[in-house]
Structure 1
Amino acid sequence: MRSSMLRVCSFIAIGAIIAAGTAWAAGTGGTGTHALSATKINGEVYVKASSLTSALGGTGTFDSKTNTYAYTTADIPSVIKKVSPSVVAIIGKPKDVGSADPRYALAHGTGVIIRADGWIVTNAHVVEDMTNLVVVTADGKKYDAERTHYDEPSDLALVKIKATKLPIAKLAATPLNVQVGETVVAIGTPVSFSLRNTATSGILSGMNRSISSAYKLLQTDAAINPGNSGGPLVNMKGEVIGINSLKFVEVGVDNLGFSIPADTVQYVTNHFFKYGHVKRASLGLSLEESWSALIGIPTSDPLTVKTVQSASAQKLGIKNGDLLYKVAGKQVSTIVELNELLKAYLPGQQVEVMLQMDGDLVTKKLTLVEG
C-alpha cells in the first residue's frame, strides 16, 4: 500500500431465453444483447444452452422427462460461491518491524490460485518485503509459501505452495469483453487476517485508466480495503477480470479502487512461466509526455525523447528532443499507451517507429531491447 494510493450440449428455443436474458441484464448491470451460438430448424431458431450460460453466467438443467430447460440466472451469492475456493489469504513478517512486538508485526494480503499444483498470483507489493510467507486457503488449510517471481512495473508476483488438486480461478478471455456499468465482485482479506474471503460488490466504474501504473487499469466502486490487494475482481460469469491493486485514500474520496486487467495478468504470468521473468520489450528511449497527456486531457501530442539508451536507437541517429509519433503504425501519446502496445513484442524484434527528427517526419526500423 503506497502513499495516497492503497495497493488492494443441449439446445433450447430462443424464445425461452428472452425473459431470462432480460432479467439477468436488469439484475446485474449486464448488457441486454449478446451474440449466442444458434441454429435454425424448420424456421425456428434454437440456441445452445452452453452458449447461454457462457454468455450470461448462471446455470441450466435439461429435464428429459418434461422436455424442459431450467435456467437459473447468475447472482452475487452464486458468483462468490464459485470463485471463493480459489482465493487465498497471504500473511508474513515485514522485513523491518522496528520496535513492534515481532509476534504481532505482520503484513497480509490476498492471492488467486491460477494452477492446481500450487501457483498463486498476487500483487508484487504484497510480498515485496514479506518473509516467512504463509498461505491459508478458503477451506482453512495452512501452507508455507515461497515468493518465486516478482515484477514491480506490473505490480504482479507469483507465490508457490506445495499442494495439488487445488481449485483454480478462471481468468477472463482477452481481449476483455467487459463494459462500464457491469456488476463486479471483489474478494479479499481486508484489514484483518481474520476477515479473509470477504466479498464486496459494485460496478465496473471505468476502463483503460492510467493511475500510477505502467499499464492500463480497471476502475471499480466495489470496496477495496487494505489487505484486498492481490485478490480478484470478478464478473457475473465468475471470471477474474482483474487483480485488485490499489485505491485512492483521501478525505472526500470514496469508492475509487483499481485492478490490473486479466490481459496484463496473463501477459506477465505467461512470461514468468516461460522465461522466469518478464522479458519486457523497450524502445531503448527515455520519453516524456506532453502537458496535456500528463493531466489527462485527450491529446495527439507526441512523446519527447529525453535520453537515448540503446545502441540500436543511437545507430538510427535518434537524439534528445526528437518527437515520437507512432510505433508499429499506431499513435502513442502516453507512456502507458506505449507499454500496452509493446506487450505484443519481445526484445530483439524490430518495430517501425515514426519520429520527427531535425524538423522532418521519418520512419525507421528500431530493434527493441529488454527494458
Structure 2
Amino acid sequence: MLLSSVVGGLVVAAVGTGLITTGVIPLDHDNETTPSAQTSQSNEESVASSDVVQTLSSEDDATSIQQAIQQNTEAVVGVSNIQNTSLWSESEASGTGSGVIYKKEDGKAYVVTNYHVVEGANELEVVMANGDKVQAKLLGGDELSDLAVLEMDGSKVKQVANLGSSSSLEVGQTVIAIGNPLGTEFAGSVTKGIISGLNRSVEMDLNSDGQADWTTEVIQTDAAINPGNSGGALINANGEVVGINSMKIAQEAVEGIGFAIPMDTAKPIIQQLEENGHVDRPFIGISAVALSTVPERNKQQTLKLGEDVTDGVVIAQVQVNSPADEASLKKYDVITKINDHAITNMMDLKQYLYGSTEIGDKIEITYYRDGQKQKTSLTLGEQNQEQSQQQ
C-alpha cells in the first residue's frame, strides 16, 4: 500500500500537476507548449447595414485603462528564485516569476507572490520596474493557497498596489494582467482581457502521487498569462488588484484560459503569512490514503471490511500526542465520516475541516476497526511547521 503523506498547509506548485474538475486538462504554471494554429469555421448570415453597429471603445475607456495600468506598473516586480549558492560558481536564478508590492511600512516593503515561485529558494531577489535588484526575505509560504509573502528594504519602493475585492466581479468585466512573462526581458508586460468565469474549481496534486490533494477556486480570464506571469497582478479598470495570477492551461488545442487567485481569498492568507509565517488550520494528526486505492484482498484480510464499506480514508500513521492519538485512533482505522459529513478521500477530509471547522472545535469521527463500526470524539488542534506533512 502506497503511503501518501498529506501536506497540511492550504492552489498550486511551481509546475504542479493539475486537473480541471470539468475534464482532465493539463495545467501549467511556468512551462508552456506552443499552441498550433487552428481554423475555426462558422456559418454566417448576411445582415443589413442598418444592423451593424460600431464597437470601438471610447477614448474615455482607453484613458481609464491607461490610468489603471500606471497605478500599478511600478508595484509589480520580478521575483528571482536563486538556488545555486556554491562557493565555486556565481549564483543564478533557477526560476523567475512576478510579485505585487502591497504594503510599505517602517522602511520595509511587502510583496505577495505565488508559493511555487519561491519554493526551494536559497535566496530571493526582487527586481524592481527600473531594473534595480533588492534582496528579499521569505516571511511565509502556503502551498495549498499557492501564496507567499516577502519582506524587502522599502527605500527604493515608489508605488504600492491597491488590493481590491473580488466579490463584485462579473463575467465579461475588463481585467488587465501585469507581470514579467519569460523573465525580466519583458518586465512589466501588460495584457488585457475579460473575466471568463468565476468560482472555477481546479484540483491540485501537490505531492505528485497521481491523486488530487486539494481543490481551489480561481478566477478564469482570457488575458494572456505566460510563464513568468505567476505572482503578478490581475487588476480591474479602476486599478485595483482583484487577483494574483497563478496558472494557465497549456494544451495545443486550448487558447486563452488562465487562472488567478481571488483577492478576497488571498487577503486573510497574506495577513497570516506576514504576521505569523504560516496559515493556521485545524489539525487531527494523521497521514492517510483513500480506501479506493487499497487492493480488494487487503480490504478484506487486513482491514476486515465488508462489501458495504466502499469509501473512506485508511490511517497510515498517527502522530504521537496529536488529537487523533488522544482519541485512540490507530493505524488501519478507516474513517468514513466527520460529524455527519461523508469522507471519501483526503481531499474531502481537508476541505471539510478547513471550510467547516475551526481550531478548538470538537468533532465526531465515525470509523471502522477490524470491520467493526465505531465512533470517537476529538478536539481539533492547531497545525504547526513540524506537522506540515500530516493532517
TM range (shorter): 0.5 to 0.7
Aligned partner of 2:380 in structure 1 is 367
For residues 353 and 172 of structure 1, what CA distance do their matches in structure 2 show?
39
Paired residue type of 1:128: E
Q: Which has the higher contact order (CA 8 A, sep 6+)?
A: 2
Distance 1:343 1:80, change over 3 A: farther
For residues 124 and 233 of structure 2, what CA distance do their matches in structure 1 show?
20
Q: Is 2:64 aligned against 1:82? A: no
1:169 maps to which of 154, 158, 161: 161
In the TM superposition, residue 230 of structure 1 has moved relative to its aligned partner by 1.1
Aligned partner of 1:211 in structure 2 is 204
Aligned partner of 2:226 in structure 1 is 225
Deviations 1:158-181 (A, max 9, x none): 22221156433233447x343544
Paired residue type of 2:250: V
Distance 1:210 1:230, change over 3 A: same
Distance 1:223 1:146, change over 3 A: same
Question: Contact 1:187–1:199 at 8 Å: present in 2 too?
Answer: yes
Aligned partner of 2:246 in structure 1 is 245
For residues 351 and 27 of structure 1, what CA distance do their matches in structure 2 show?
59
For residues 356 and 233 of structure 2, what CA distance do their matches in structure 1 show?
27
In the TM superposition, residue 216 of structure 1 has moved relative to its aligned partner by 0.9
Q: TM-score under structure 1 normalisation?
A: 0.64
In the TM superposition, residue 227 of structure 1 has moved relative to its aligned partner by 0.8
Question: Contact 2:283–2:359 at 8 Å: present in 1 too?
Answer: no
Distance 1:75 1:133, change over 3 A: same
Question: Contact 1:88–1:137 at 8 Å: present in 2 too?
Answer: yes
Aligned partner of 2:42 in structure 1 is none
Deviations 1:225-266 (A, max 9, x none): 111111122334433333222233333333333333324422
Q: Is 2:174 aligned against 1:183? A: yes
In the TM superposition, residue 111 of structure 1 has moved relative to its aligned partner by 0.5
In the TM superposition, residue 94 of structure 1 has moved relative to its aligned partner by 3.8
Aligned partner of 2:80 in structure 1 is 91
For residues 180 and 200 of structure 1, what CA distance do their matches in structure 2 show?
17
Distance 1:326 1:217, change over 3 A: same
For residues 141 and 130 of structure 2, what CA distance do their matches in structure 1 show?
27
Aligned partner of 2:104 in structure 1 is 116
For residues 252 and 241 of structure 1, what CA distance do their matches in structure 2 show?
28
SS of the counterpart of 2:223?
coil
For residues 190 and 271 of structure 2, what CA distance do their matches in structure 1 show?
28
Q: Is 2:313 aligned against 1:325? A: no
Distance 1:278 1:130, change over 3 A: same
Distance 1:103 1:249, change over 3 A: same
What RMSD in Å do the two structures reach over aligned CA positions?
A: 4.0
The equivalences for 1:221-370 within 5 A come to 221-288=222-289, 303-307=312-316, 309-310=318-319, 311-319=322-330, 320-326=332-338, 335-336=346-347, 338-343=349-354, 349-357=360-368, 362=375, 364-370=377-383
Q: Is 2:12 aligned against 1:2? A: no
For residues 321 and 74 of structure 1, what CA distance do their matches in structure 2 show?
63
Deviations 1:322-346 (A, max 9, x none): 344345x666666556545544799
In the TM superposition, residue 131 of structure 1 has moved relative to its aligned partner by 4.9
Question: Contact 1:216–1:336 at 8 Å: present in 2 too?
Answer: no
For residues 212 and 170 of structure 1, what CA distance do their matches in structure 2 show?
32
Paired residue type of 2:377: K
In the TM superposition, residue 105 of structure 1 has moved relative to its aligned partner by 6.1
Aligned partner of 1:48 in structure 2 is none
Q: Which runs of 5+ in 1 are unaligned?
A: 9-25, 29-70, 292-300
SS of the counterpart of 1:157?
strand
